[in-house]
Structure 1
Amino acid sequence: MAKTEYVEVEIDDISDQETSRNNYEEIDRMEVKDEEEEEEEHRNFKTRKRKCKERYICSQCGKSFKLKLGLSNHLWRHSGEKPFNCDQCGKKYTSLSNLNLHLKVHSDERPYVCSVCGKGFSRLDCCKQHQKTHDEVRDHVCCECGKSFTTAGQLKQHRIIHTGERPYKCSYCDKSFTQPGNLKSHERVHTGEKPYRCAQCGESFKYSNILNDHMRVHSGEEPLICDQCGKEFNSSSNLKKHLKVHTNERPYVCPYCGKSFAVLVSCNRHQKIHTGEKDYVCCECGKGFTTLGQLKCHQKIHTGEKPYKCSYCDRSFTLSSQQKSHERIHTGEKPYSCAQCGESFRHSNSLVNHMKKHFPPSPPS
């Protein structure tokens, strides 16, 4: 409230009384004016405060943005339109930032350098994440493979990989597992339990990572890109597993032949070659497969389903790998290079055949 000044007036005669009345009327007017100004200032403050809190909300999914530009960029995801094209390989993106991130794959630009070991990264967040590995104190070292851990519990859990111990047994079949989480996930195959439900469409899933992948359908999120090689992934867990390829970390060892793997699921899948396990059987033809993914791919042969469409022509494919392989005809990409002579190829089998020129097979004795 504005401070009001009171004026003392001596009343000597009638004219002084008139003057006094005029003075008090002026004071009243000043008080009213001060109150009006204060009220107006308060209204302006509330308006400014409301404007500060105002956000732009997407009518499709409810996500909010501070800037109108942020909402405009986000809406491309729902429309399915990808207006930002890479002039190097033709790949399309919904936002300029994702296109710029992708372009670093072609330029090999790595401006963010780890201050501890000097390793370069194309993205600042990847560099920061990497630097955390230097900050961790890892006193607990595995005597088998040299891998280190921050706690004794982590080391103990890791050593089960080397001992081959599988203490967690399935209640429904003879399978056993090294981790309790793996057992719980496996038992859903028997129970049919699907505890992870999509809030958007109601579809349910056995595993949380499959739900996370599914949610990208609704949000229209771009795939996650490996800053080392540019390969794309639909979940952060798959990207994390893939990054071990670049570090050459292979902590999971097959107890039958000694072959090592970067990812536990790959090691388990490999072991089925030795055991002959084929848990997933096609109900159409009875053919067995070691993984659910292999069975699903096979079943498309019976249904004739071809969900993977070429971005450049009208052709469609049963498998995503077939689509990617085909698109190299349009892009001219040749990712498989010969280490001996530098010649590049579109397909890995072409490189394998080429390598026979450098290392011809020995004649039969």
Structure 2
Amino acid sequence: MEIKEEPCRIKEEETEEQIDEDGNAVSSQTEQTFGQAGKTEVEESFCCTECGESYSDEYTFRDHQLSHSDIKTFSCDQCGKTFVLEKHLRQHLQVHSSVKPHVCFCGKSYTTIYKLKEHQVIHTEPHVCSDCGNTFSSLTNLRRHQNIHTGEKPYQCSHCEKSFTQPGGLKAHEKVHTGEKPYVCSDCGKSFGTTSNLNTHQRIHTGEKPYTCSQCGKSYSDKGNLNVHMKIHTGEKAFSCTECGKSFAHKNTLKDHQLSHSGVKLFSCDQCDKTFINAAYLKRHLPVHADVKPHMCFCGKSYGTMAKLKRHQRVHTGERPYTCSYCAKSFPYSESLKAHERTHT
């Protein structure tokens, strides 16, 4: 590519090129320099013949020109992404690290200086959502957030019909189609499509359970599991079967139930003639054929599945997670609750 070194004037707003965590080019404004009497100084600079951008520094100018090239010689050895410049690769590598060296005075930390600067706008000129009061560092982020309140889902997957309120949701979803899993657990080597899924998984190794039920004190490593658990206390059953009218607290439970109307049981036990509507039920059944009961209670009793062990342990803990929607009486087992509720009807 030809470098045309011709005099030109610095634009009113010069931009300093950086990249975000995904390797995309972003711009942050830098201040003008002023000479005497507040007049803008005019400098000789290097002009890009491709886009007209101008730079006072030759090295910055040459780096910029590479952005017009398709040649990306610097490759990430963890996820395969490629970059034009080595410094962009260095910035990207922080995505794979748990280290967040750029700390705001409010305590929040970020992997890149760009993310920190973007966050710090909240402390100076925040954009406030009129519906919920949340603040955002840019008008663009505020508008994206407001899709949650309006229900608008403008970000459409190019592989299927799913759409999303946020571009980040779409980006995470598309990895389902591509199979991309760049985030690797340092403890066991398992890989994930998003950092949030990796962080949730790593709690298996640390034992951390930050999400606690306000009703019974039970804690979970994942917020979604807490939300599922809370429905035990509220009695909410929002998913109804169109065939028989039976309602369920969870969408997946409804899907499993609906298979019972079809009579289709695709999952067969290779040791007996039993068939099951899903793989999870078959997996629970298989320990019946094994003498091994790896899940042991401190009292000495052992069980073939973790679910059976947890059920047994309620004898020791006194936990009663199933609450009657009529009289608030609670029970350790779901079948006990069902039997009790028949007394009200």
If the TM-score is normalised by the length of the shorter chain, which range does it land in? Answer: 0.3 to 0.5
TM-score by length of 2: 0.45
TM-score of the superposition, structure 1-length normalised? 0.43
Larger radius of gyration, structure 1 or 2? 1
Structure with greater helix share of residues: 1
